[in-house]
Structure 1
Amino acid sequence: MDLDRRTLLASGLVTLAATQAAAADTASPATAGAKAAASRPAGGMELAIAAKAASAPTGLAISRGGRVFVMMPRFDDKVPITLGEVVAGGEVVPYPDAAANRPDRSRPQAALFHVPNGVFDRDDTLWLLDAGLPEGKGAPVPGGAKLLQVDIRENRILRVIPLDSGITPTSSLNDLRVDIRDGYRRAYITDQGQGDEGAILAVDLATGQVARRLDGHASTKSQKGIVKFVERRPVMLTKGDAPPQSPKGGANGIALSPDGKRLYYAPLMGRRLYAVDTAGLLDPTVTDAEVAASVQDLGEKGMTGGLTTDSKDRVYLSLQEHNAVGRRNPDGTIEVIASDERLIWADTFWITPDRWLYISASQVNRRPEFNGGRDLQEPPYAILRVRIDADPA
C-alpha cells in the first residue's frame, strides 16, 4: 500500500486507538483482559484501518495499489450494502455503485445479494463470491449464486460465472480462493450450509464447470457439541423463548498451498484443520470416494474463521476465541504470533507484497441474533495488521 494512501486511510485512527486504550481500563466484558493480553508472549498488532461500515465486514481484499475492499454479508435484509470500498477517513462506499448493491431478484446475474468474500488474483483482478442470499438464509435466488470477475481500473464487471449447478437449497457459500497460473484457471469455494452439512465447490474458470465435492463429508460438516467463546462469552443463537443454542457452520475458511496442490479448510464450528488434494476436485474420472480418501486431518487448530497461507506454506489461523492470530507450520506445530483485544471475531486475512498480514475484526458475535435481539456492534470496525517474514502464497 503506498504511503499517501496509508495516510488517507489512517485518518481518525489515533482517536479510535485512544478510545480503545481508555476502555481497556474499565471492567466491561469486552475489554477486561486488555492489560493481561499485553503481557502475553504473542506480539501486538497495529491498527491499520478503522472502517466505517454499515454492517459487519467479514471479507477483506487489498489490491497491489492499496485499494481496500470489504465484504459485508447480508445476515438479514437490513444490511444496506454487501460490497464496499474503503476510502479516505475510513468511509465505506458501495462498490461498484449503489445500484449494483440492490438485491434485485429480476437481475440475478447483475445484482449483488450476499457477498461474503472476494480475492485478487495474480493479475490484480478482483474476484467476488455471491452466495445469492438477500436475507442471509433460505434457498439461494435462482441465478444469484455466482462468481464475478471485476476490473477495478474501470470499475466494471468483466464476467459472471453461475454456480447454480454446485449448490443446494440450503447452501451458504462462504469463502473463495482463485488459482490462476500457466495453463491453470481454477477457483475453490466453501459451502458452510445452513445446517449441519457442508461441501467444497471447485470451478474451472476457463469453462465454467462446477463440481461439488465432499458434500456431507465429516470434514465439511458443522461439528456437534461445540461451543465457541468470543470476548469471554459463549456465542449462542437466541430466538424468542427458545433455549439458546450454538450456531451451525460447516466448511468455512480455506487456503491454498503455494504450489496450488493442496487446499486447506475447516468448518466454522469445528476445532480441526483439514487438507485435500486439489488434483481430483475437477477431474470427472475421480470419484467422490477417491476425493474423500485424499482428505487429511491435520489436527487441532482452535476455533477459527478465515485462513490464509504464505510462501512458506504456513497456514494462518484467525483464533476467534483468543482475539489472536495463530500460524501452523509445515511440521504441524502451531504458534500464536499476535493478539489484540480489538480483534473481535477475527475473520479474513490478506497478505500484501510488502509482507503485512492484515485481518478484519468483524464483531459478528455482537450481532442481534447472538444477544437477545440487541445489536452490540460498535463501528468503526478495526482492520489490524502485523509484519510477517514471508510473501503471499
Structure 2
Amino acid sequence: MRIQIILLAAILLQSCVNQKSSSNKNEVIEVAQYKGQQVTGVSVSHTGRVFANFPRWREDVENSVVEVAADGTTRSYPSERWNNWAIGKSISDSVFVAVQSVVVHNDDLYVLDTRNPLFKGVTDAPRLFVFDLNTNRLKDILVLSPKSYKPTSYINDLRIDEKKNCIYMTDSGEPGLVILNLSTKESKRVLDNHYSTRAETDHLTINSVKWNNTVHSDGIAFNSKTNRLYYHSLTGYNLYSVSADLLNNGDKEQIEADVKLVAKTAAPDGMIFDDKGNLYFADLENNKIQYLTPDGKINTLCEGGKIKWADTFSIFKGYLFYTNSRINETQNGVSDLTFSINKIKIEE
C-alpha cells in the first residue's frame, strides 16, 4: 500500500511539473512599459542590450530612441541631445526627427529616421544613423538617394544583407522597396507601386471594431539561407518574396517576374526569421503571434490580452521580444494608454 501511495505521489508531482512547464512555455514576460509613450520598435544585441524607439506620430514624444536596462528603466540613446528635437525646431544630422525602426546588426545599431514627422510629408531625405555599440558613437549616416523615395514616403523597416553588403527597406507610405548599397552609399527603388507592395484593403477589424487605414509594404524579413527577401503590406493578407540576387543586379522586368506569393496569412506588422527558418509575425486582427514554418505550416505561438498589436520583433537567446504598440486603440490619444515591450520563449 505504501509503495502505491509513493508511486501515486510521484505521478501527481510529475503531472504538476508538466503542467507548470506547459503553462510557462507561452508565458508573456514584460520587459518594460511606457505610459503615454507609444513604442513601436525593439531590437536586442548579441550581448543582450535592448533598444527601442518611439515614432513622431504626435508632438509630445519624450524620446525617439532609448536603451532599456534589465530592470525596465530606460535612458535616452545615445544621449538626451540626440532626442531633444521637437516640431518647429531646426533639423540637423545630430538629432532624431521621426524614428520608425531600430535594428541591431553585429555591433552596430541602425536607426531609421523617416524624416516624416506627423505623417505630413518628408522634410528632408530619409536616413539611417549608424552607431557603434562598442563606443556608443555615431559611425555613419546613410542618406537615401533622391529617386528612391517620394514626398509622402514613410520608410518603415529594414533588414541587412551581409553577402550583398546592402540594406533592404519597405516604404509603407508609397508602395515599394528601397535597396541601399553600402559600398556606393547609393539607394534605388524597386517594385514601385507593384501589386505585391500595395495595400490590399483600406481597413482591419480588431475586436469587432474597424480600424480604417491604408498601409502599404511594411513588414520585411530576410532569409540568408534561401537568399530571398520577404515582405508584406500591413493592410493585406499576402506574403511575398523576391530574390536578393535580382534585387541587387536584376532589371525591373526580372525583379517583377521573380516575385512569388509565399502564403496567405493574417494581417501583420513586423516580421522576423529565427535560425530554424520560422517566420514570426502578428495576427493583428485576432491578438495573436504566429509563425510560418519552413514546410509552409502556420502555427500560433501565443494569443490573448497580452498581445495588443504586436508590432516589431527581435530574437535573443531563445526569446522572441515584441512591442505592443496598440495602434488601433489610439484614436483618442495615448496619454491614458500603457505600451509595452515583452518577451516570450520560442525555443526549448
User: Does the alignment reach a TM-score above 0.5?
Assistant: yes
Residues 1:62 and 2:44 aligned together: yes
Q: Which runs of 5+ in 2 are unaligned?
A: 1-22
Instruction: Kindly indicate which of the two structures has a greater share of residues assigned to helix.
Output: 2
Contact 1:52 1:90 in 2 (8 A): no
Q: Map 1:128-147 to 2 at 5 A.
A: 128-135=111-118, 137-143=119-125, 145-147=126-128
Q: Which residue of 2 aligns with 1:255?
A: 221
Residue in structure 2 matching 1:364, options 321, 327, 330: 327
How many angstroms apart in 2 are the aligned matches of 1:186 and 1:309?
18
Q: Which residue of 2 aligns with 1:27?
A: none
2:172 partner letter: Q
How many angstroms apart in 2 are the aligned matches of 1:129 and 1:148?
7
Contact 1:265 1:275 in 2 (8 A): yes
Residues 1:170 and 2:152 aligned together: yes
Residue in structure 1 matching 2:104, options 91, 97, 120: 120
How many angstroms apart in 2 are the aligned matches of 1:88 and 1:261?
35
Q: Map 1:49-128 to 2 at 5 A.
A: 49-52=31-34, 54-87=36-69, 89-103=71-85, 106-121=90-105, 123-128=106-111
Cα distance change of structure 1 residues 262 and 47 upon mapping to structure 2, 3 Å threshold: same
Q: Map 1:242-321 to 2 at 5 A.
A: 246-259=212-225, 261-283=227-249, 286-321=250-285
Contact 2:237 2:264 in 1 (8 A): yes
Residues 1:221 and 2:198 aligned together: yes
Residues 1:205 and 2:182 aligned together: yes
2:206 partner letter: V
Whose radius of gyration is greater, 1 or 2? 2
Q: Which runs of 5+ in 1 are unaligned?
A: 1-40, 236-245
Cα drift, residue 141 of structure 1: 1.6
Q: Map 1:341-380 to 2 at 5 A.
A: 341-352=305-316, 354-367=317-330, 370=331, 373-375=332-334, 378-380=337-339
Residue in structure 2 matching 1:159, options 99, 124, 140: 140
Cα distance change of structure 1 residues 75 and 108 upon mapping to structure 2, 3 Å threshold: same
How many angstroms apart in 2 are the aligned matches of 1:98 and 1:53?
19
Q: Which residue of 1 aligns with 2:167?
A: 187
SS at match of 1:290: helix
SS at match of 2:254: helix
Cα drift, residue 216 of structure 1: 0.2
Residues 1:333 and 2:297 aligned together: yes
How many angstroms apart in 2 are the aligned matches of 1:87 and 1:310?
24
Cα drift, residue 139 of structure 1: 2.2
Contact 1:53 1:92 in 2 (8 A): no
How many angstroms apart in 2 are the aligned matches of 1:88 and 1:327?
27
Instruction: Kindly indicate which of the two structures has a greater share of residues assigned to strand.
Output: 2
Cα distance change of structure 1 residues 221 and 337 upon mapping to structure 2, 3 Å threshold: same
Contact 1:326 1:338 in 2 (8 A): yes
2:182 partner letter: L
Cα distance change of structure 1 residues 86 and 51 upon mapping to structure 2, 3 Å threshold: farther
SS at match of 2:239: strand
Cα distance change of structure 1 residues 59 and 290 upon mapping to structure 2, 3 Å threshold: same
What's the TM-score, normalizing by structure 2? 0.86
Equivalent residue pairs, number? 324
Cα drift, residue 150 of structure 1: 0.6
2:338 partner letter: P
How many angstroms apart in 1 are the aligned matches of 2:73 and 2:99?
19
SS at match of 2:286: coil
Cα drift, residue 312 of structure 1: 2.4
How many angstroms apart in 1 are the aligned matches of 2:179 and 2:230?
13
SS at match of 1:139: coil
Contact 1:343 1:384 in 2 (8 A): no
- Superposed CA offset, 1:25-57 (max 9, x none): xxxxxxxxxxxxxxxx99633214123365211
Cα distance change of structure 1 residues 85 and 92 upon mapping to structure 2, 3 Å threshold: same
How many angstroms apart in 2 are the aligned matches of 1:258 and 1:338?
26
Contact 1:118 1:126 in 2 (8 A): yes
SS at match of 1:332: coil
Q: Percent identity?
A: 27
How many angstroms apart in 1 are the aligned matches of 2:326 and 2:336?
6
SS at match of 1:305: coil
Cα distance change of structure 1 residues 154 and 116 upon mapping to structure 2, 3 Å threshold: same
1:151 partner letter: D
